[in-house]
Amino acid sequence: MVAGDVDGAVADLRKVADAPAVVAPLDVYGTLLDAESRRGSRAGVTSTLADLVKRYPSDPRVPFFLVTTAKTALKSARPGRMIFALELSKKVIEAYPESPPAADARQLVQQIESGRGRGRY
């Protein structure tokens, strides 16, 4: 991706993510989400999140992964980081509402949404 072929990298990562697996390949999904975020593709991020939770609804690591990724995004200086973190957090609340990280996800959503209209993102 550093060389600039983000589209090619995303296509390759999707092939890996599409391969059958018992547990979610979180490293692949993390790289894929990062690539979609870097290219400013909110639709790509949303699609990747939907795919992850559809394929691995019972993998208990997924909500922790999403909340951790959202928290990391908030610390970044990258444009669009708030929207990215918001999408991740809302997906945890929607797909894993009773999971332990759902409480953290709710706090993140509240934090991000309270910053709207104040020029924070």
**For the chain, domain boundaries:** 6-114
pLDDT at 116: 65
Domain 6-114 carries which CATH code? 1.25.40
Q: Alpha-carbon torsion 75, 7, 40, 68, what sign?
A: negative
Residue 45 CA to residue 41 CA, distance in Å, equals 6
DSSP annotation of 104 reads H
Q: For 94-119, how does the pLDDT look when each residue is reduced to its tens digit (9 = 90+)?
A: 999 999 999 999 999 999 999 864 44
Note whether 69 and 88 are within 8 A (CB): yes
Structure tokens at 91: 């997906």
DSSP annotation of 4 reads S
Closest among 66, 38, 35, 37 to 52, alpha carbons compared:
66
Q: For 9-33, how does the pLDDT look when each residue is reduced to its tens digit (9 = 90+)?
A: 777 777 777 767 778 899 999 999 9
Q: Is the pLDDT of residue 66 over 70?
A: yes
> Average pLDDT, whole number, for the chain?
86
> In the predicted model, what is the mean pLDDT of residues 71-99?
91
Q: Which residue has the higher pLDDT, 8 or 89?
A: 89
